[in-house]
Amino acid sequence: MILAGDIGGTKCTLVLFDEDGSSLKPVHRISLPTRGFPTLEALLADFQKLAQQDGVNLANRQLKAAAFGVAAAIIGGRALSNNLPWPVDSQSVATTLGLAPNRMLLLNDLVAAASSLAYLKPTDLMQLNDAIAEDRAPKALIAAGTGLGEAILFWDGTRYRVTPSEASLTDFAPRNDCELLLLQSLRHRLPRVVTEEIVSGRGFRSIHQIIFPGVHHAFFDDPSVDPAARITQQAFEGTCSACEETLHIWMEAYGAEAGNMALRVLPFGGVYIAGGIALKILPKLKDGSFVHAFTDKQKLSSQLAKIPIFVVLNEDAPVLGAAYEALAAVRG
Segment 268-280, tens digit of pLDDT: 999 999 998 999 9
Residues 190 and 47 both lie in one domain: no
The least confident of 83-87, 121-125, 169-173, 224-228 is: 83-87
Residues 173 and 110 both lie in one domain: no
Residues 15 and 163 both lie in one domain: no
Q: How far apart are CA 58 and CA 112, in angstroms?
A: 24
Alpha helices in the chain (DSSP H): 40-53, 90-97, 109-115, 177-187, 201-211, 227-237, 241-265, 276-280, 282-285, 289-295, 301-304, 317-330
Residue range 185-204, pLDDT digits in tens: 999 999 999 999 999 999 99
pLDDT confidence bin for 330, thresholds 50/70/90: confident
| CATH code for the domain of 39 | 3.30.420.40
Residues 6+ apart with CB under 8 A from 287: none
Residues 154 and 288 both lie in one domain: yes
Residues 125 and 112 both lie in one domain: no
pLDDT for res 59: 63
Residues 157 and 273 both lie in one domain: yes
Residues 275 and 321 both lie in one domain: no
pLDDT for res 52: 84
CA triplet 44, 49, 55: central angle to 5 degrees? Answer: 125
| CATH code for the domain of 208 | 3.40.367.20
pLDDT for res 72: 84
The CA distances from residue 66 to 167, 292, 330, 332, in Å, are 27, 40, 10, 14
Residues 131 and 257 both lie in one domain: yes
Beta bridge pairs of residue 107: 69
Tally the domains of the chain: 2
pLDDT of residue 301 exceeding 90, the answer is: yes
pTM above 0.95, yes or no: no
Residues 94 and 221 both lie in one domain: no
Residues 307 and 320 both lie in one domain: no
Beta bridge pairs of residue 141: 151, 272
Residues 174 and 293 both lie in one domain: yes
Structural domain range at position 231: 121-313
Residues 139 and 247 both lie in one domain: yes
